[in-house]
Structure 1
């Protein structure tokens, strides 16, 4: 695609992003006012104050100290240990899970400790906003209409996960930003286009948070496999091996970029008692889980962090999807597979790093539901 044509497409989509921004701002303001009018902050009392807020304030002071040393004292000094963290602790491994590596938390350098709460609340909505932008880029890449993409973006970013989980743990919406770019990068590689989006989105995901990076890696492999069998008739071991080699090479490049943070963080984490603990994994959930399952997709919270809460209109996309024979096979496979993951505790065990059972991967299910609606939207009028 020529540069002039790319610029033309960007200008054509400018009205979409203006409308998306205004709509997002209106809904976000409504959500925030529900807290404000009830005298509540967006900082959760349990983990928000002692962990997330304090980590963000600490990171801002930490960055300002490094810059002060560099520009005022004219020497580069990056503190790696702090005796004021517990009984003394490594700064990188302590704060990576919360702030270090996430590009958005670099904004903390501009905010005093007393202003951290404002930044904290702003970043909650900024992450959700960027997740919608990322989803729209993926959807536009696959040549979907603006109206369908807008509705899909709203379904994606205002599902239960963002309203419930991302309000409690702001960085829980980070994988929602990276996933669409990683999947688009996979499609670009299959089309023999430049692999930069794939490499940099995987690298940023690795730098940002190792926990969600692990989940993203699993969904990356599943997506690449489904898309391969959908697009290529040559399914010989030689061709599969060639593509595996291609993705392995690009993935290694991305991991090497992220290794400056990923490697020193992940090694001690794997040795902690939390990851070594033997967790009981039942064959099935309790009966009440399956009784409430369908209702929970558009309403209540499932157990084990299965926070779905998709708008009811998105379910129409699923019904129409399965009414179309010999069409949308990849989406059907994805829907069946991810629902199986939600119904089986062992899947929650594997996706949670072989730790306790948890469905904190449900943001990926949300992207699938949103994109099904985007693809099916034109079919609703035929």
Structure 2
């Protein structure tokens, strides 16, 4: 028992986390089930997400049948029943193909897909909390602060609103902490495997969110470099840059079997090439509601924040310490600037229409600020 609850052991943390997560998740689920609603959104959930998951399960079972029963490897790549006929990989990648969790569909018959669909919603959120906590523990943050920060991270507005509509919208919340932790490991001259595999899985899972992760990966690496190393030079910067590019290239080569055809298809779509109007500023009401929306309702353009109000206390503490947490202060300022300027939403949305679907990364920063500030409180 002493070992179980010791300072170094994390078993008590994850036991408590699992218990609390289960209670809160049940409360959230009951809001739907108690009102006779499922977690499948009528607009995109039925025609896109649910059908894709059911199709993928059937597809995987057919592949396994050809391998173990017919003793041949055959991967169907084209299906005339998708639209007027379409490529299976590039059509279903955005929804299911490449996401490791959707492989569970192979065990679930099509008529039970809705159960798996709902389970995966909460499983993704649960794993996002595990990922964030691992990142916090790597940076030697105390368990109590990490526990509260984890709940702030996973039960913000993005997961309650966006992940209920589009389940895979919580996938980047799993990958980002691991990618950033991989960057830290490389700077500490530890093994690069976490960075390589987290980047590779992210690239295979969903190109859209991987693009955003790459931007935050670059920003984080730059901030950490200036925060870790006091002696800097152009030669040193170039050396680290070459090293990261090498590891990044290895990750993309691992993911290339899925990543490459998807990217080639996306670049050829009319939606990607369309010209979009990008205003200089948002409407006046956006800025009037901005601060309140951080702990309340939805901003426009997918700016779903809705963090626990106690998280804002971490921000106040952060800026009350004049000579500490410079990197977090700069990061907070930069990401808030991204939220205030439409052009940032345009760039982070793949130079398409203005959208702040990257706000899950802002949520990680808010949660981690609270983790660092909690001991000061």
Structure 1-normalised TM-score? 0.97
Following the alignment from structure 2 to structure 1, what is the Cα–Cα distance between the partners of residues 36 and 86?
36
SS at 1:24's partner residue? helix
Deviation at residue 138 of structure 1 after TM alignment? 0.1
Following the alignment from structure 2 to structure 1, what is the Cα–Cα distance between the partners of residues 263 and 299?
30
Structure 2-normalised TM-score? 0.98
Distance 1:152 1:168, change over 3 A: same
- Spell out, residue by residue over 1:174-204, the C-alpha distance to the aligned partner (whole angstroms, 9 max, x if none): 0000000000000000000001100000000
Matching residue within 112, 116, 123 for 2:113 = 116
Deviation at residue 338 of structure 1 after TM alignment? 0.1
Distance 1:27 1:8, change over 3 A: closer
Deviation at residue 271 of structure 1 after TM alignment? 1.1
Partner residue, 2:200: 203
Q: Does 1:178 align with 2:175?
A: yes
Partner residue, 2:262: 265
Deviation at residue 234 of structure 1 after TM alignment? 2.1
Partner residue, 1:127: 124
Aligned-residue Cα RMSD (Å) equals 1.2
Partner residue, 2:311: 314
Partner residue, 1:328: 325
Q: Does 1:91 align with 2:73?
A: no
Matching residue within 9, 22, 39 for 2:19 = 22
Preserved contact between residue 52 and residue 95 of structure 2 (Cα < 8 Å): yes
Deviation at residue 324 of structure 1 after TM alignment? 0.2
Deviation at residue 10 of structure 1 after TM alignment? 10
Q: Find runs of 4+ consecutive structure 1 residues off by over 3 angstroms.
A: 7-11
Deviation at residue 8 of structure 1 after TM alignment? 11
- Spell out, residue by residue over 1:132-167, the C-alpha distance to the aligned partner (whole angstroms, 9 max, x if none): 000000000000111000000000000000000000
Matching residue within 250, 253, 262 for 2:250 = 253
Matching residue within 98, 103, 110 for 2:100 = 103
Following the alignment from structure 2 to structure 1, what is the Cα–Cα distance between the partners of residues 216 and 173?
12
SS at 1:292's partner residue? helix
Partner residue, 1:229: 226
Partner residue, 1:136: 133
Following the alignment from structure 1 to structure 2, what is the Cα–Cα distance between the partners of residues 278 and 80?
31
Matching residue within 213, 218, 223 for 1:216 = 213
Matching residue within 364, 367, 371 for 1:370 = 367
Deviation at residue 340 of structure 1 after TM alignment? 0.1
Following the alignment from structure 1 to structure 2, what is the Cα–Cα distance between the partners of residues 70 and 194?
36
SS at 2:84's partner residue? coil
Following the alignment from structure 1 to structure 2, what is the Cα–Cα distance between the partners of residues 197 and 130?
16
SS at 2:281's partner residue? coil
Matching residue within 155, 160, 168 for 1:158 = 155
SS at 2:355's partner residue? coil
Q: Does 1:48 align with 2:40?
A: no
Q: Does 1:194 align with 2:187?
A: no
Q: Where does 1:347-366 land on structure 2 (aligned, <5 Å)?
A: 347-366=344-363
Preserved contact between residue 57 and residue 109 of structure 2 (Cα < 8 Å): yes
